[in-house]
Amino acid sequence: MVNKNKNLALTGGAAAAEALRQINPDVMPVYPITPQTPIIETFAKFVADGEADTEMIEVESEHSAMSAAVGASAAGVRAATASSSQGILLMAEILPIASGMRLPILMLVSARAISAPINIHGDHQDVMFVRDAGWIQIFSENAQEAYDNTLIALKLAEKVRLPAMVVMDGFQTSHSVENLEILEDSVAKNFAGEYQPKNLLLNFDEPKTFGPVALPNSYFEFKRQQVEAMSGVVPEIEKVLEEFGKISGREYDLFEKYRLDDAEKAIVVAGSTAGTAKVAVDELREQGEKVGLLKIKLFRPFPYAQVAETLKNIKQIVVLDRTVSFGSSAPIFSEIVNAMGRTDLQSCIYGLGGREIFKEDLKKVFSDNWDGKEVKYIGLK
């Protein structure tokens, strides 16, 4: 099977759209926003060419896009959409409704800065803004992972009945053409399978009410149940990743460990910067430095125990966030501190609003001595 896979050169956005074509969602309510638009444009072409028979609904806003996705998913069909930045913020009211109603909606995100000042370039502030919305969040490093994670997230979401966001870096990944390998259509379709909803609105033989009021005597219980659903994600994704590994030959884990085994210094980072960091690690390793990288993939739920176990023997850990959390610690840094219970970890902020980060910047992160007392800003003028 693996031999029949196709090698293509695609942008991250087009790669994710390829996965969507193979998934062939029943409904896709869409609204354009940079840098997500290439995903839905590419997908719209597939629909126009008859390569997918998805019902695309061109709605009037992202709020409507997510609302329509909730309606379609509650009706019992596979629903997907895509967005970025202000679009995700406009959806923010509906995102917890999707997770609270346990609807496995798939959303592709080309992550971008948020206003003000207005900026269309990549960082992680939009997805981090909605990190408590009850959605599964998976970060992708490159076009290959954007494609793979789209298939993985769909299957995972439908198994645990929670919505999932697949995140790629705006422009760096969504608009950069890279080589990747896609699965044969029949293999991908077989992996995605048929969606079997647990509850569906349009079943007149078994009438059900969706979205009722839950007063103080029951609301708390539904939220507790949602916490439990999230905690079921890690064991489930391990099974999905194993199955995906068999059909693709690409072995994934909850996060990527890159030359960490004997490392004394490590960077923790999510998204496309991990690619640059790997080159920095390789060059420093050639000079005999014991350095490594932990690349965050599954961010929600956060795999605390596994991350803590992986990083426990590493002396110096620098966590790079492409987000600021005003008046608080940066999101990934907070999670690593929470996982490890250490106070000597270093937080660095980089890449806001699409600010470049280079290999030399990352090599410097390894060569500097950090005490973790103060947040550092890489590439700040």
Under the criterion CB under 8 A, does residue 161 sit at the interface with another protein? yes
Smallest gap from residue 200 Cβ to another protein (A)? 9
Under the criterion CB under 8 A, does residue 202 sit at the interface with another protein? no
Q: Which two tokens stand for residue 338?
A: 């929470």
* Cα dist from 254 to 61, 66, 163, 236, 251, whole Å: 33, 27, 18, 11, 11
DSSP class per residue in 89-130? HHHTTTHHHHHHTT---EEEEEE---SSSP--S--SHHHHHT
SS3 199: coil
* Cα dist from 321 to 70, 269, 270, whole Å: 31, 7, 8
Stretch that binds another protein, among 168-176, 177-185, 207-215, 341-349 (CB under 8 A): 207-215
Which C-beta is closer to another protein: that of 208 or that of 315?
208
Determine if the peptide bond prior to 303 is cis (ω within 30°): no
Binding track over 83-102 against another protein, x by CB under 8 A: -----------------xxx
Size of the site for another protein (CB under 8 A): 23
- Produce one character per residue of 54-83: b if its CB has 16 or more CB atoms within 10 Å, e if not: bebbebeebbbbbbbbbbbbbbbbbbbbbb
Under the criterion CB under 8 A, does residue 60 sit at the interface with another protein? no
Q: Which residues are bridge partners to 9 per DSSP?
A: 179
Under the criterion CB under 8 A, does residue 364 sit at the interface with another protein? no
Smallest gap from residue 158 Cβ to another protein (A)? 14
- Where in 219-248 is the site for another protein (CB under 8 A)? 220-222, 224-225, 228-229
Smallest gap from residue 215 Cβ to another protein (A)? 11
Smallest gap from residue 159 Cβ to another protein (A)? 13
DSSP one-letter code for 253: -
Residue in 50, 117, 212, 288 binding another protein, rule: CB under 8 A: 212
Stretch that binds another protein, among 17-25, 144-152, 173-181, 203-211 (CB under 8 A): 203-211
Under the criterion CB under 8 A, does residue 198 sit at the interface with another protein? yes
* Cα dist from 43 to 49, 114, 124, 157, 328, whole Å: 10, 25, 24, 21, 39
Contacting residues toward another protein, per CB under 8 A: 100-103, 161, 198-199, 206-212, 214, 218, 220-222, 224-225, 228-229
